[in-house]
Amino acid sequence: MDTPAQTGAEITAAIVVAAGKGLRTGGDVPKQFVVWQGKPLVRHSVEALAAAGISPIVVAIPEGWDDVAASSLAEIAGVQFVHGGATRQESVLRALEALESAAPHLVLIHDAARPNLPRPVIDGLLAALKSNPAAIPVLPVVDSMVRGASGFRAETVTRDELYRVQTPQAFDFNAILGAHRLWHGAPDAGDDAEVAVAAGMQVTLTAGDENLRKVTFAVDLQEPETMSRPPRTGMGFDVHRLAEGEDLWLCGVKVPHNKGLAGHSDADVAIHALVDALLGAIAAGDIGDHFPPSDARWKGASSDQFLAHAAKLVSDAGYCIANVDVTIICEAPKIGPYKLAMREVLARILGIDLGAVSVKATTTERLGLTGRGEGIAAQAVATVVAK
């Protein structure tokens, strides 16, 4: 079945420029091979191009990194490698010449340092090439612009005709190959559109995407990951037996009752369920992993320290608590009079707003162990979001 990028006899190929050293991100591995969001940086955009039906894809890599490049892009069909040149323009030319035997009609040229490549950007470029020899994705400049001289403001620059340029940039293959072969500009070109314009090609503008931000410095490898990490949700459930001679603690509040909950700690079943929900949201095990009942240190311990520990683990994992929801399941005592106090205690321990804490109660219509008054159960849901 033909894909949108490979219709009829026309072949749409791609080049991913990944031949730089990437020293500004720190470390001794070029940034294109650094693992980001679970896979090498270069793999993200190559997968996006392959998913759009684009093939072959030539990746320009630095000499000496062949094995790492092959491992980074393993099992992606249609990928080829060439060694890059001394400049970006030379790397692109080498990649274009490597594609020449495949006789593609169109080519997309992309920088590996832009890992988030949305499909609408690709589709917009290919649509533009139906009636234009070249197209580039751009974003408008929204800030006020000024020209500076010697560290001082000189004059205002109109932003109406200014754009931020992104990649991939799309071209008629033969036209851009010829343009690169004719390039006699500065030692390097700012981008392939500059090469195209120098050769007399007209370049049309298409819609870019804020997600196509470029990874340049070490912090860039962290910020996009944090921003793109989805919210995570965990669930918790616990049950404790009611017994004579025990205090009844629920959500950190001592509730008057003729029985209390039995357990190794203070048996606060609601907090225990919430601890498991928070740990579940960050895949950090359960309460027994962190506070085993076999450990004498937790004999009669107040459960608020368990909850504070779980909240710290959430923060250490790079998340903050968005909201928590606790449901206490029992026939007695009545929970309603204590719900606000419970919410206040939980909000204080977790360090979140009262409005992000919900405490509810229900019964099992006298069915089961809670219905017979043998114990109290609780379930909890917690949602965490990236900081």
Smallest CA-to-CA distance from 78 within 97, 59, 64 is with 59
* Whether this model's pTM surpasses 0.85: no
Residue 180 reports pLDDT greater than 50: yes
Q: What is the mean pLDDT of residues 112-117?
A: 94
Q: How many domains does the chain have?
A: 2
The CATH number for 273's domain is 3.30.1330.50
DSSP tally for the chain: helices H, then strands E: 12, 19
- With respect to residue 53, please indicate whether it lies within any of the assigned structural domains: yes
Among the candidates 228, 260, 277, a domain finishes at: 228
* 274 and 365 both lie in a single domain: yes
Q: In the chain, what percentage of residues exceed pLDDT 70? A: 93
- Quote the pLDDT of residue 142: 87
DSSP run (H or E) holding 235:
strand 232-243
Q: d(Cα 210, Cα 208) in Å, to the nearest integer?
A: 7
- Quote the pLDDT of residue 25: 46
* 314 and 195 both lie in a single domain: no
Q: What is the DSSP letter of 25?
A: G
Residue 37 reports pLDDT greater than 50: yes
**What is the residue range of 350's domain?**
232-386
- With respect to residue 3, please indicate whether it lies within any of the assigned structural domains: no
Among the candidates 183, 201, 228, a domain finishes at: 228
Q: What is the mean pLDDT of residues 367-375?
A: 93
- With respect to residue 17, please indicate whether it lies within any of the assigned structural domains: yes
* 195 and 341 both lie in a single domain: no
* 242 and 278 both lie in a single domain: yes
The CATH number for 106's domain is 3.90.550.10
* 37 and 166 both lie in a single domain: yes
* 240 and 223 both lie in a single domain: no
- Quote the pLDDT of residue 228: 58
* 218 and 255 both lie in a single domain: no
On the question of a cis peptide bond just before residue 187, with omega within 30 degrees of 0, the verdict is no
C-alpha separations of 67 from 62, 71, 72, 305 in Å: 11, 6, 8, 49
* 286 and 180 both lie in a single domain: no
Q: What is the mean pLDDT of residues 108-116?
A: 95
- Quote the pLDDT of residue 225: 46
Residues 280-321 have pLDDT tens digits of 999 999 998 888 877 778 787 889 999 999 999 999 988 999
- The contacts of residue 327 (CB under 8 Å, 6+ apart) are 360, 361, 362, 378, 379, 380
Q: d(Cα 333, Cα 320) in Å, to the nearest integer?
A: 33
Give the mean pLDDT of the chain. Answer: 90
- With respect to residue 7, please indicate whether it lies within any of the assigned structural domains: no
* 174 and 318 both lie in a single domain: no
Q: d(Cα 139, Cα 114) in Å, to the nearest integer?
A: 14
Q: In the chain, what percentage of residues exceed pLDDT 90? A: 73
